Copies of this chain bind each other. A is one copy, B any other.
Amino acid sequence: MKVLLGISNRHAHLTEETYKKLFDSQPLEAVKYLRQPGQFASNRFITIKNGDKEISNVRIVGPFRKYDQVEISRTDSYYLKLNPPVRDSGDIEGSSPISLINGSVEVHLNEGCIIANRHIHITPDEVKKYNLENIKKVKIRIEGEKAGILENVNLKIASNSKFELHLDNDDGNAFNVKTGDELEIIEMEEE
């Protein structure tokens, strides 16, 4: 079974409240809609900061969320001197603190910085179609010079979703795969 790959570069999801602190009345606009329904790469970028280390040009992915969340790679985390947990999106309790900057405005988050886990977006209908009932995690096999197997790939089941594997830059670069590649699901781990 093949699944389309989307590589997630570092990005932020913000509440409307946090967004307005940073951008006041400037609108959050979609530059490009993503494969997941309603999700878009916006026209807004922030700088993320920890201590004296910062990374600029971090894109805000819309629409607004009910929580503030910054997703970075482990490579980024070493640079920023943070040790964020590997988490599902939205599971931010006790995750790393980080500051968000736009121009002269800085908003400090006490938690919200995570490394996103490997996951597949899939609908309940597709779960049935592919016989994935009772399956919690799958493995992905990658061919080529930098071949291997990625484990602990979570199934993220939601009606309003499109079948797609999300990996971060570290996974993508280690295995030399890119957005748009089709990768093979090879094994299921039961719940």
Contacts and interface: CB of A to CB of B under 8 A. Distances in A.
A152 B170 CA distance: 18
B176 A174 contact: no
Contacts of A173: 73-75, 78, 170, 174
A60 B158 CA distance: 50
Contacts of A73: 173
A169 interface: yes
A151 B152 contact: no
A54 B176 CA distance: 22
Contact of A174 (B78, B139, B147, B170): B170
A145 B150 CA distance: 11
Contacts of A75: 75, 169-170, 173
Interface in A63-85: 73-75, 78
- Chain A's interface size range is 20 to 34
Contacts of A182: none
Given A118-B146, A148-B149, A148-B150, 15 more contacts: A74-B173, A74-B174, A75-B75, A75-B169, A75-B173, A86-B145, A86-B176, A145-B152, A146-B152, A146-B171, A147-B151, A170-B170, A170-B173, A173-B174, A174-B175
A117 interface: yes
| Most B CB within 10 A of own CB, among A75, A139, A170 | A170
A150 to B, nearest CB: 5
A144 B18 CA distance: 34
| Most B CB within 10 A of own CB, among A75, A118, A145, A173 | A173
A99 to B, nearest CB: 23
Interface string A94-138: 000000000000000000000001100000000000000000000
Nearest to A73: B173
A151 B148 CA distance: 5
